[in-house]
Structure 1
Amino acid sequence: MHKKIVVVQRRMTHYRLAFFESLRQQMTERGLELVLAYGVGTAEEQGKNDSAEIAWAHKLATKYFWGGRICYQPLKSVCNQAEMLVIALENKLVCNLWHQFAPVPYKVALWGHGANLQGNPGSWREKFKRRVARRADWWFGYTEHSRPLIAQSGFPADRITVLNNAIDTAEMRSQFESITPSELANWRAAQKIGNGLLGIFLGSFYQEKRLEFLFEAAGAMRSQVPDFELLLVGAGPQKSLVEDFCAKHEWAHFGGMLKGRDKVLALASATVMLNPGLVGLGILDSFVCEVPMLTTDCGLHSPEIVYLEPGVNGLMTTNCLDDYVRQAIALLTDPARLNAMKLGCRKSGGEYTVENMARNFADGVERCLKVGDPK
């Protein structure tokens, strides 16, 4: 009889579908049964239109209280005869506390960043979270950035598995590899982009992306590299800033929100990806389409920033406009170095995949099942 491993998500998003399908396959191959359970998000989260359904998973009754700050999701029904339960570390998930602190007959693992990256470490909420973080048999951290955050709560370092968080990039890779030079030339012509060097910003337009820093840097780059152009792809609350900038500079192009092959064509057209602000999972786009990322040590990044290897698959400059411009121009005007970084991107793109993430998760499950209970 297969050992039953229960994984709970407060809500299901479309970008997790490929991961859970891959994880289910990994578990089956190892003689384990994956039982996936999830609920629904808050009213605000449901308005994002990023929710998804998995036919073989269990739907949990979900209720929110106190303006969405407390979530009630009873798990008892899915935990019957389980060998292991994997839950998220969120203060709002009050039902999780029972499974962590009560004498339950199964292993309990936590999954998360290890801390609220935007929270105040001295607040009672974060102190409570650090206390609760120790009540587990195992920890699954998103990236290597998570490991020290988990360990500083007092959790044993040898019971932490780093997943290397990823989204499905298989289709993007397939599209990128199928693009022909003529298709690329036609796309650039349709966007009224010249044949020179192109920097691309791809993401949401909001404050943490530091668009004004980007605009100033791009202007300085254009003044020193006359054939440099900038393409801005995305949407968000600061969209008007982008439109105004592009309207004033003929070398700057607003691409709007692009998806599918158009998004891949935009990336394939670019020489470098410019994002001086917050970098998250978008770094995987950089890797798959072999466009080195240039960012700064601005202190705003998501855990996935650890995937960036300066000088290998991208660059991280100091948080200084002159340094950012100087290093960007040096890279743009050095074809050999650019090609080397493109190869670095390709290598990283093959490493950070949902398949490898699922394999890391399954490895962690097997290791957890073999050890005693530190709780």
Structure 2
Amino acid sequence: MLQKPAKPYRVAIFHQGCVPVYRRGFYVRLAETSRNQYVVFHGKPPSNTSLQVAKPPFPFANVEVGTVELRLKKALLIWQAAVSRYVKGRFDGVVIGHEFKFLSSFAILALAKLRRRPVFWWGFGYRKAYGSWEEGGARPPLKDRIARWAADRLARLGDGYLAYTEKGREHLLSIGVPADRIQVVRNTIDVEEQIVLADKAAAFDDAEIRAEFGLRPGSDVLLYVGRLVPRKEVDSLVRFAVASPQVDGRPVDVLVIGDGEERARLEALAGGARNIRFAGAIDPSDLRIAKAMKLCRAVVIPGYLGLAINHAFAHGRPIITRKHDFHSPEIEYLTEGEDSLLIAGDEADFHKGLAAFLAAPEEQQRLAANAAARRETLRMDYMVKAYDDFISRVVANADNGR
């Protein structure tokens, strides 16, 4: 008997409250390759984040919605004016980000369950206790413990979970989520776009790039790309640059690309040092970032590390960070000592590690070659296919069961 071809489904996506620039390429590729219609609900980014947001119009189905924010001490609660639009949209399934602050998502979860429509969580697969890092303690504070308890129970309510890493999958299995309800989709940027940009940047002369960013001739360049927020600990990199304008007889420059609440403090900390340059926020699709990647020896992010890994690997640049337990789950994409350096110890140890790296040209080349090879495992096509195939299967099973 011939198998009946799967019909296209209509699926709503509520994730992050906006369309970050790094997520735009994923939604475009999903719309181009899937038979399903995915409708992305988005609005202004939450005020407690510094996400760089992509600007409409978008070449994929989307609905722009208003938001209402409510602050309760340090907590931020958000209501997206999208519940009625979700109900009227006659969706076959819904994808929800695993974030407690979006109260409207709980209403959509309840409505989807009442209508017997599949609900998919999309996130890490587990909840990290950031509060213990921020408060300097080893034991997570009560609010983090409660949040993790609630996150585990919500995960079991879903019909599917789109997890970023194998560690997320292992946690979900450990709390009783059936294996057939879990799909590891990884989490990536548009690596293909970045490879094209890297090829274009290769044609530019290094001296021209240095002049564009105000970097010194012949310097070893360390690059930071990302939001300027406390969790990233960019101040540690700035202090290194101030203390080490030269390493092993060669000048050292630090180029900081990004913006955020920490920028003014970091610029004051730099104190006008000639070897530290702040370039501001630059869109990932801008050739200028590719030029900076070409020039740098490594991408250095002392604190919280996430999708900068994918960005650096797309350009064949190793990552250097501090070794701690509070990185984003994307830290699993690194192979320590092969394509990256995770330096243990305090800030002094970190600075010694940076100096040792800068004094070892052969090590720089080895790590860069391995980083370039790793980018092949982080291409977006895998993420799009895994995401779409899993949702199609679960929705089809639910449809056949009704």
TMscore range, shorter length:
0.7 to 0.9
CA deviation profile, 1:163-189 (whole Å, cap 9, x unmatched): 111122433322221234662222214
Aligned to 1:150: 172
Stretch of structure 1 that moved more, 269-278 or 212-221: 212-221
Does structure 1 residue 13 correspond to structure 2 residue 15? no
Does structure 1 residue 232 correspond to structure 2 residue 239? no
Give runs of aligned pairs for residues 111-190 of structure 1, distance below 5 A. 111-117=122-128, 118=130, 120-123=143-146, 125-180=147-202, 183-190=205-212
**1:78 Cα deviation after fit:** 2.6
Does structure 1 residue 98 correspond to structure 2 residue 110? yes
Aligned to 1:286: 312
Does structure 1 residue 86 correspond to structure 2 residue 95? yes
How many Å separate the matches in 2 of 1:7 and 1:319? 45
* Corresponding residue SS for 1:327: helix
Aligned to 2:138: none
Aligned to 2:119: 108
Distance 1:181 1:370, change over 3 A: closer
Distance 1:313 1:205, change over 3 A: same
* Corresponding residue SS for 2:342: strand
Number of matched pairs: 366
CA deviation profile, 1:100-121 (whole Å, cap 9, x unmatched): 643x444332212234434633
Give runs of aligned pairs for residues 233-312 of structure 1, distance below 5 A. 233=256, 234-259=258-283, 260-312=286-338
Distance 1:266 1:69, change over 3 A: same
Q: 1:288·1:346 contact (CA, 8 Å) conserved in 2?
A: yes
Match of 1:69 among 64, 74, 77: 77
Q: 2:28·2:60 contact (CA, 8 Å) conserved in 1?
A: no
Return the TM-score normalized by structure 1.
Answer: 0.83
How many Å separate the matches in 2 of 1:363 and 1:145? 21
Q: 1:312·1:344 contact (CA, 8 Å) conserved in 2?
A: yes
Match of 1:23 among 20, 30, 37: 30
Distance 1:310 1:55, change over 3 A: closer
How many Å separate the matches in 1 of 2:58 and 2:279? 33
Aligned to 2:9: 4
Runs of 5+ consecutive residues of structure 2 not aligned to the other structure: 1-5, 132-142
Q: Identical aligned pairs, as a percentage?
A: 21
How many Å separate the matches in 1 of 2:67 and 2:232? 34
Distance 1:266 1:157, change over 3 A: same
**1:162 Cα deviation after fit:** 1.4
How many Å separate the matches in 2 of 1:85 and 1:228? 53
Aligned to 2:140: none
How many Å separate the matches in 1 of 2:8 and 2:272? 62
Distance 1:26 1:55, change over 3 A: closer
Q: 1:207·1:238 contact (CA, 8 Å) conserved in 2?
A: yes
Over aligned residues, Cα RMSD in angstroms?
3.3
**1:296 Cα deviation after fit:** 0.7
How many Å separate the matches in 2 of 1:316 and 1:256? 26
Aligned to 1:213: 236
**1:21 Cα deviation after fit:** 2.1
Q: Which amino acid aligns with 1:227?
A: R
Aligned to 2:3: none
Q: Which amino acid aligns with 1:8?
A: I
How many Å separate the matches in 2 of 1:152 and 1:55? 39
Aligned to 1:38: 41
